[in-house]
Each structure stands twice: as structure tokens, then as C-alpha cells.
Chains A and B, each alone.
Chain A
Amino acid sequence: MTDRDTQLRSVYIWVCEGTWRAGVDAALSLAPADVRFTLLHVTSAEVPDAARGAYAGLLGRGYRAEDDPGTRLEKMAASSAGDLLEAAAARLGRRCERLEIQGRPERAVVAASADADLLVVARDGDRTRLGPKSLGKTTRFVVDHAACPVLLVWPESAPDVATIPPPPHHPSPPDR
């Protein structure tokens, strides 16, 4: 194995609300100087659609496009995504490409990062109790299906090893 093979050339960072700083920091500390960074953010239509559904359910109120909360949320989501990528690029402080995608986050991330050498993902999930559910559904999907190596980082400092509960007590196999 030569040095050339192990070199990271393209690193994707999945930027998510609330957890992106950890991903950017991890990428900065691990990646060599000449790496190509791509900041990736996916906007899902789910939230605006929920608002639009509630508005559509108001029978008889007519439809006024300027009142449709779904449309307003869509506009705000788009500019909020731009804001987030801008902040992430500023924290990264290196030349990078910004990729803003519309779609289902888990599928869009896997598809976009297929040719990357590394995908940096911040954990999300119920981290109050570490176990199967401490990895959220979308993160779990990406870990399962990503076509490239995935670096999974803690959004806050990693838990102490001492927090692991003791193994369940099984009767030990008889000594032979």
C-alpha cells in the first residue's frame, strides 16, 4: 500500500441544523491540507408540506397563495439552508464547494457522497440513553447505505468509557 492510496482527496461534510459544527471541526482536524471539501446540506419538503397540509384541511376558506404557510416555510427553509452553509464555510475557513439539495435527506446524502473518499456525519439521535436508538433514523440509513467510508463524530464531547453499563450477567460456561 502506497501513501497515495491512503490519501484523502475529497471529503464531504453533511451539514445539519444543531450538529454541523462537530462535523466541520472533525474534518478540519483529520484532513490533509490539499483535500477538496464539499459542504452538503439537504432540505426536506416534509416540514413545509406539513404546514401546507394543515392549510389545505381548512375547508371553505378559499385558497390564497400569500396565506399558504407551506409556501412561506419553503422560502424560509431555502434561505435558512443558505445561511447554514455560509456559516459552515466560514468555520471551515478553507476553499470548499457548497452543495444544496432538495429531497429526502438520507437518500440524497448517500447519492451525493457516492464518489467521496470520506463522508463526515455528526451523530443525531436520542443520546440520553446510548444504545440502538441513539443513532437517529436518517443517520442510521446513511451509515448503512453510504458507498464511501463514513466518519461518525459526536456533536459534543464523546462519552466516557465508564458510562457503558456492565455486561448482562450470564452463567459462565463450565470450566473444562
Chain B
Amino acid sequence: MSLIALLGVLAWAVIRPRGWPEAVAAVPAAVILIAAGAIPAGAAGSAARQLGPVIGFLAAILVLAHLCDDDGLFRACGGWMARTSAGSPRRLLAQVFVIASVTTAVLSLDATVVLLTPVVFATAAWLEVRARPHVYACTHLANSASLLLPVSNLTNLLAFAASGLTFGHFAALMAVPWLAAIGVEYAVFGRFFASDLNTGDLNVRPRRDRARAVRDDADRNEDTGLPVFTVTVVALTLAGFAGASAAGVNPAWAAFAGAMVLAVRALARRRAAPASLVGAADLPFLLFVLSLGIVVKAVTDNGLGQALAPLLPGGTSLPALLATAAVAAALANICNNLPAVLVLLPLAAPSGAGAVLAVLLGVNIGPNLTYTGSLATLLWRRILQHHGSSPDLGEFTRLGLLTVPAGLVIGVLTLWAGLHWF
């Protein structure tokens, strides 16, 4: 029964009947499972208590990213890339790699996908550079560059709570795998997109007037200079994460403080309405994550955990870490990385922080293998696209096959080495 509930919740989340929020199915499913006794109310309560701070943390980060966008941070990044890339597609790619990696790490993958990608496209269009490698870089780095900090990805926040690591220790262990995964992507992209990257006509300066592509999206793309105050608040928030965590305080409070400072300022300057801030916190999403956590707990407690346990090798030897990451990547590709990490965390946690981080490598890098990060979403979208123009999946999958296995292996190798050093 729990399994049917989980499958129903996931199917609803992928199909989204009538565009209703995912929580519409997830919340009743969790309530029914508790009422039916599939998960004792006490266990559900403790799961909720564990998820609560994670979800609060997530909400604060979502609001923070939204306010950074309002303050023109991403537009400023676009302007900087346009000015300094000198029209060279390769230099622009390197800049996109830096900005997308940092954005993903600090403001989470949602910020890169929703807020940064359009700016990158507009910049490429302005420079008259073929945008393909640069947009693909955003979509890939939103996953593979989300390894560094607990705030980079919801999967990390969930694992962070389960790993018992401090914020700083987590970042120290993941820093080299993060750089390694980005390095693999960069090496592959340079070769894979060689013909697009060599088309730049370096003798031609970009047109002085902003291209219409940028003007059409003007409200969102007008570069108003680097918002120094916002960047300072984000930097202090980051320092606050590490400081709070080292002092034994939940780093979510630092995220709250940072979001609060920017929110009060935006409200005072009437640059944001309270409604838009509440919208940015995305309450239905938070409810969905909470309910999904409870449903997954019910499923793992009722047999799925035991069924999957033999798949995960215990310990943190190199082969064990590699196998753990591979299983996590496979599971993330079959359903999605969110349920995958919820299922695998309780199994990996007893083996220690190393195993938990290996799960993260799998669920964060793995989704680049499929176009939408999971086969389920992909299949549904294929069914939807009966009107002919289906996306060219071959290209995307070839790119994923080149980056994902290499990224996983090198990521796990560096993690394993890091576990011995730190």
C-alpha cells in the first residue's frame, strides 16, 4: 500500500493533472498512510521534525535567490560576461562555467535553471555567439556543480541533516569532487561543441546597441551594475553558514537572516511585494517535500529498505563508494533524484558520512544522463509531444554518456582521497 502511494505521488508529480501542485496528491497520501497505520504517527512525527528545518532552510535559499535576481545580480553577471568575453565563444563558455558553478553552489540549482539560463542565452545572442554550448553548460552544471555546499541542492540538504557533518566539513570534503566534476564537464564540452565554439568571428565586435533579443526581455535583462549590497549579504550569509554550524547552531538561521535582510530592504524600497516573496518560498513545494519524505519513510520501513539494502555495499572502501554512487545514479535516473536520495539515505547513513556523500555524487551528477533528469519525466514528456517536434535526445544523451560516468568515477576517487585527508 505504501509503495502504491509512493508511485501515485511520483506519477502525479510528473504528470501534474490540470497543472495542480504536486502537494495535492502528496499531502493526502501521507495523511492516508498515517491514518491507515502504514507508518506510526510517532515515526511520521519524527520524520517531519527531521525534515522541518531542512524545508525551512530550502525556503530561505529560494527567497534569497529570488531577491538576488530582483536586485539584478544575474543581469550584472550577463553584462560582465558580455563585456569581458571579447566575443570569443570559448572565453564565454569558461565564464559561464564559473558563474553557473558558483550560482548553483551558493544559490542552488533552481537559480541556475530558472534565473541564470535565460541571462546566458541573452548574452550569447547579444554577442552573436551560438548559444548551444552555453545553455547546455547551464543545464549540466545545475546538476554536477551542485555538490559543493549543503545549500546547493535539496538532495544535499537532506543528506547534510543525515550525515552529521558540519557545514564546513561538508564543503571541505566536497570541494575537490566538485572541482573534478566541473573539470570533467569543461573538458568534454570543449571537444563536444568544438564546431560551435570555433565559429566566433573575432574580427567582428559585438554590436553596440543591445540586440533585440535582450531588449525584448528588457525588464529582466537590463544590466544595472553589480548589486554590491546584495553580494555582500550573500557572502555574509555564506560565512554565517560555516560559523553557525561550527558553533552548533543550525545554519538555516543564517539563511533566514540573509533572506530577511534582503527582503526587508526590498519591501522598504517597494521593489518587492510580500506576495511575491511568499510565492518565491513556494509553499506547495515545501509541503510536497514534507509529504514525500513521510511517504518514502513508510515505504522504506515496510520492506523497500530491506529489498534495496543488498544493493548498497557497506563501508567506505573505494569499491564500496563507487558502487554506492552508481546505485544512486541509476535510481536517480529511473525515478528522480529527490525520492532516490530519500530512499538511499537511511541505508547509507550507518556506513558513515563517506557513504552519504557518495550517494550525493550519484544523485547529483547522475541526472545529466537523461534529458529531464529521470526516465519517468522523460517518458511522460515524450507522450505529451505527439505534435511532432520532439527534442533531439540523441545529442543530449551522447553528451551525458561522455560526462556522467567520467564525472562519477573521478568524483568518487577524489572523495575517497579526501576522506583520508580530512
Query: What is the interface of chain A, defined by CB distance below 8 A to chain B?
Result: 16-19, 21-22, 45-47, 49-51, 53-63, 67, 69, 72-73, 75-77, 79-80, 82-84, 87, 103-104, 124-128, 133, 136-137, 155-156
Contact = CB atoms under 8 A, between A and B. Distances in A.
**Nearest 5 interchain pairs by C-beta:** A57-B373, A136-B195, A18-B199, A80-B213, A49-B391
Given A18-B201, A45-B389, A51-B135, A59 B194 contact: no
B372 A73 contact: no
Nearest to B199: A18
Contacts of A79: 211-213, 215-216
Nearest to B109: A58
Given A54-B117, A69-B118, A83-B213, A17 B198 contact: no
B125 interface: yes
Interface residues of B, number: 67
Nearest to B367: A57
A60 B212 contact: no
B212 A62 contact: no
Q: Is the interface of B mostly helix, strand, loop or mixed?
A: helix
Given A59-B336, A103-B389, 18 more contacts: A18-B89, A45-B391, A47-B131, A47-B136, A51-B138, A53-B373, A56-B381, A59-B338, A60-B22, A60-B338, A61-B285, A63-B19, A73-B135, A76-B118, A76-B125, A79-B213, A125-B198, A136-B196
Contact of B113 (A45, A69, A83): A69
Contact of B396 (A50, A76, A84): A50
Contacts of B138: 51, 54
A63 B20 CA distance: 9
Given A62-B284, A76-B121, A17 B381 contact: no
B314 interface: no
Contacts of B288: 60
A72 B217 contact: yes
22 contacts: A16-B199, A18-B201, A19-B201, A46-B392, A49-B391, A50-B371, A53-B381, A55-B114, A57-B373, A58-B113, A59-B339, A60-B22, A60-B288, A63-B19, A72-B118, A73-B117, A76-B213, A76-B214, A80-B211, A83-B211, A155-B199, A156-B201
Nearest to A87: B207
B252 to A, nearest CB: 19
A60 B198 contact: no
Interface of B: 13-14, 16, 19, 21-23, 89, 109-110, 113-114, 117-118, 121-122, 125, 128-132, 135-136, 138-139, 142, 194-196, 198-201, 203-204, 207, 211-217, 220, 282, 284-285, 288-289, 292, 336-339, 367, 371-374, 377, 381, 389, 391-392, 395-396
Contacts of A17: 128-131, 199
Contacts of A136: 195-196
A66 to B, nearest CB: 10
A51 B122 contact: no
B139 A50 contact: yes
A17 B127 CA distance: 9
Contacts of B196: 124, 136
Q: Most B CB atoms within 10 A — which of A45, A72, A133?
A: A72
A55 B213 CA distance: 21
Nearest to A18: B199
A84 B22 CA distance: 41
A80 B118 CA distance: 13
Q: Most B CB atoms within 10 A — which of A53, A128, A136?
A: A53
B195 A124 contact: yes
